[in-house]
Amino acid sequence: MAIAKSIQKTASLDRAFASITMLVSFSGLSVTAFLMLNFDYSAPISTAHICFSLLFVSSLVLHLINNLPMLSHYWFKAKGPTLQLSLLFVSAITAGAALQVVPFKLLFEYEQSSKLDGQQRQINEVLKYDLLRYQHSITPTLIGDQSGKHQININLSVKQRLRDHLAAIWFEDEQGNVVQLLAQTVKGPYNDEQHIQQLLPHLHSKLGDVDPTSFMPLRGAENALVLSTTSNFDPKAHTLVMEYNAIGDSNRDYRAKRRGSVSEKDGQPSVVYHAELNSEVQWMLFSGQTNENGDLIDSRQKLTTVLEDFQQILVEVVSS
């Protein structure tokens, strides 16, 4: 009687365990199917695929080894193949596969993300000469009793630090004459008339015989210049122009594409941008310190650290 009760109790436990493993099997199978459908199998074979294959095969082998005594007991000791055994075996394999899917998905996405980041870095290097970005809308400002004080915000999309560069920003009138030189980088040994003529030919052609150093912008921070325009100067009646040249740039891909046109020591071909300062260009609120005449005397606190990477130039225009 005791033996019969023990066998009955064991059978009940086996049925309970089989029920639990069946639920695990169905849930694991559902999770596996859901995650598998979200994989990008059009991608080439990657490290993630190889790792997943090895993990899956090793998991399958371990499950077979783990279930070998049970298989031997039920299959070869007169029990015969049963539904319970089949469900138990399928649930073990499915649960093992489901457990491997999550780390595989994470590994796969991490690798794909790394590849995309690398591709984006290459794209940024090639497109680092597509620089100017203009924000929109108009915001009139009034500081004390002085009106007409504005700030032009020019964002540069370049991400990498350049060894040397030369850039100039100026206003032109309707005839294309340089009315006001707003900013000119002064970093490195390239801010002289010879290099300006060679590396910024558009500006040189506009200036003619005028010495560019006669335009004396105020220094605001490294690689950025802040200045006061002439009296009664209306920026919106003119065209904003920027010419930029990366000197000694470390971008090999871009140099390879430009090879033969301009040597590295002479810089890259300059890039020129024009912008009509109409109502679509944003005039931002300027809150720097001014003297009694309304001239800008200090705006260092308004210049951000990204200027050191040449990501952004703030040109503040003060007109009385």
Residue 298, Ramachandran bin (φ over 0: left; ψ between -120 and 50: alpha; else beta): beta
Res 247: pLDDT: 57
Least confident of 11-15, 18-22, 141-145, 193-197: 141-145
Residues 266, 199 contacting (CB under 8 angstroms): yes
The pLDDT tens digits of the residues spanning 163-180 come to: 455 667 777 777 777 776
Q: How confident is the model at residue 101 (pLDDT cuts 50, 70, 90)?
A: low
- What is the rounded average pLDDT of the residues 240-254? 55
Q: Which of 127-131, 165-169, 295-299 has the lowest mean pLDDT?
A: 127-131
pLDDT (tens digit per residue) in 194-235 = 666 777 777 777 776 655 554 433 333 233 333 334 444 555
The most confident of 21-35, 127-141, 188-202, by mean pLDDT: 188-202
List the single range of 85-89, 150-154, 199-203, 268-272 with lowest mean pLDDT: 150-154
pLDDT at 69: 64
DSSP code per residue over 163-176: SEEEEEEEEE-TT-
For residue 228, give the nearest of 288, 170, 294 by alpha carbon. 294
Please indicate whether residue 51 or residue 121 has the higher confidence score (pLDDT): 51
User: Regarding predicted confidence, which is higher, 182 or 289?
Assistant: 182
